Amino acid sequence: MPEQQRADVLVIGSGPAGAAVTKRLTDHGAKVVCLEQGDWVKPQDYPSTRPDWEIALRRGPFHFNPNVRRRPEDYPVVSTGGHPPTVLMFNAVGGSTIHYTAHFPRFHPSDFRVKSLDGVADDWPTRYEDLEPYYDMNDREMGVAGLLGDPANPPRSPRPTPPLPLGVLGETIGRGFDKLGWYWWVSDNAIISREYQGRPGCDLHGKCMLGCPIGSKASADVAYWPKALAKGAQLRTWARVREITLDAQGRAQGALYYDRQGKLREQRARVVVVCANGIGTARLLLNSKSRLFPNGLANSSGMVGKNFMLHPFRFLEGIFSERMDGHDGPFGIPAFSQQFYETDLSRGFVRGYTFLLERSFGPLHHAWGGFVNKPVPWGLEHHKVMRRRFPHIIRVTVLGEDLPVESNRVELDPEAKDSSGIPAPRVVYTYSENSLKMLDHGARRARQALEAAGAVEILDSGVIQPAFHLLGTARMGNDPKRFVVNAWHRAHDVKNLFVVDGSSFTTSAAVNPTCTIGALALRAADGIWELRREWV
């Protein structure tokens, strides 16, 4: 088993967290090695470059779900519970930012204090003010298009590029919100609207979730990795980590991983940082069993894998007489509303949700039933219904806050394994009653907004199978008996082990998480560097 030269820091996972940690530490001068079980994706291989790109929504090597695409670098995910999730993730340099919409909202200050404000879940051991400079730094690194002046959020630094166009779709749904007197705002999107740091501005081709072939969308492979590699970082692809190893003193020593030929190798480091997403991180820690940690690494609390959070979603599509051309322009969310974001107990639930005012895909996606799963019928009515819907739809998505529940969890499946023989993760998940009430309220209000905007028909997905955003399985908190890592992502049990990705989220908020993941990762990197005198 060949041992690689010892690094200062070993980072496991090259997505938005691993990329940001690596780049920031190399800026400081650390010698960083990153292990990624996937590979680089060539822009010319993206489905978005081909005329049959919509086929990838249903099958093929770029499907969002690893259980469907089954690329060699993937691992299976077993799902169960009251609402078994259809997990969305991608294993490659850049991780799931290859597929994400690039919507880039921040947490609200209140999201860090839900226990104090609303008596539920837990407060974070950090505050918005601690993270604010890192939000700004991450925005600059990624490149964000947006508009200053949002009255519902704290002031922020100038956006790197101007906002993306709203189009007739955004202007139409905006008028509906205006008619109701509801707040809405132009979104921050990690899709640059003009040239920025050598990347071209968005050309509005509208297939962002299937890979941006020109690099306007800030996936981590184009926004962070070129800079990190230029500073001397090493990125080792096709490196599937089996377990994190310990030395005789119980410190993290490195990782055992399989290379592309299936040979077991070892990479040692003074510090180990796990950035494998809310499912992959829990899986790796639980599989890293030893005499000191028979139930999984850094798991003396028993909380590794517990409190798995997603975001409850529900889709409503309004059909309009006029063309909305929702297939044109970037898939990044043009606008949003947080009118119902904070707790109002008269609604029958705690916390709240965001409305995403969204574009959609092309004609094949609409024929299949769109996001609401209402297929266009075959037969005599097919062309009539198709002409009525495409391109006449505006989608309003309800994205709710998911509160942590211990029974929602990630564990090791006793039977399923990946192609290297490593146990697969088993995800157990059920929507809470609070989430279901929230989605019901959001659906009623979304219908109201679409009607106010002039929709002639509204299609409702109902409660969908959960899928989006993998959070909470190694949560951040001060109490070692209840949390896995501290405010700087340092494991309570292992002082040179850090967990830096969505798994460390104490709560989920009601916004897409990638912006916050990147900001937390940059802050964690500074914390790791401050502790360099402890590196041995």
CA 437 – CA 296 distance, rounded (Å): 36
pLDDT at 3: 64
Distance of CA 241 to the CA centre of its chain: 21
pLDDT at 4: 73
pLDDT at 245: 98
pTM value is 0.97
pLDDT at 507: 98
CA 227 – CA 208 distance, rounded (Å): 23
pLDDT at 513: 98
pLDDT, tens only, 338-364 = 999 999 999 999 999 999 999 989 999
CA 474 – CA 462 distance, rounded (Å): 31
CA 299 – CA 427 distance, rounded (Å): 18
Asked if 74 contacts 91 with a C-beta cutoff of 8 angstroms, the reply is yes
pLDDT at 345: 97
Asked if 180 contacts 452 with a C-beta cutoff of 8 angstroms, the reply is yes
Q: Which residue has the tokens 């959609």?
A: 360
As given in the structure block, the two tokens for residue 288 are 């890293």
Domain ranges for the chain, please list them: 3-534
Closest CA to 186 of 337, 400, 396: 337
* Half-sphere exposure in the Cβ direction for 412 (13 Å, CA): 18
pLDDT at 2: 63
As given in the structure block, the two tokens for residue 462 are 């109902």
pLDDT at 331: 82
What single letter denotes the amino acid at residue 390? F
CATH superfamily for 3-534 is: FAD/NAD(P)-binding domain (3.50.50.60)
pLDDT at 286: 98
Query: 391 preceded by cis ω (within 30°)?
Result: yes
Rounded to the nearest 10 degrees, what angle do helices 514-530 and 128-142 cross at?
Answer: 110
Q: Kindly tell me the burial class for residue 274, based on how many C-beta atoms sit within 10 Å of its own C-beta (0-12, 13-18, 19 or more).
A: buried
pLDDT at 165: 93
In the chain, which residues have pLDDT < 70? 1-3
Say if strands 234-236 and 32-35 run parallel, antiparallel, or are unpaired: parallel
pLDDT at 206: 80
Q: Which residues contact 151 (CB under 8 A, 6 or more apart)?
A: 183, 185
CA 52 – CA 531 distance, rounded (Å): 51
SS3 category, 347 = helix
Q: CA 349, 360, 104, 167 torsion: positive or negative?
A: negative
CA 281 – CA 532 distance, rounded (Å): 24
As given in the structure block, the two tokens for residue 212 are 């941006």
Closest CA to 145 of 108, 183, 200: 200
pLDDT, tens only, 176-229 = 999 999 999 999 999 999 999 999 999 988 888 889 999 999 999 999 999 999
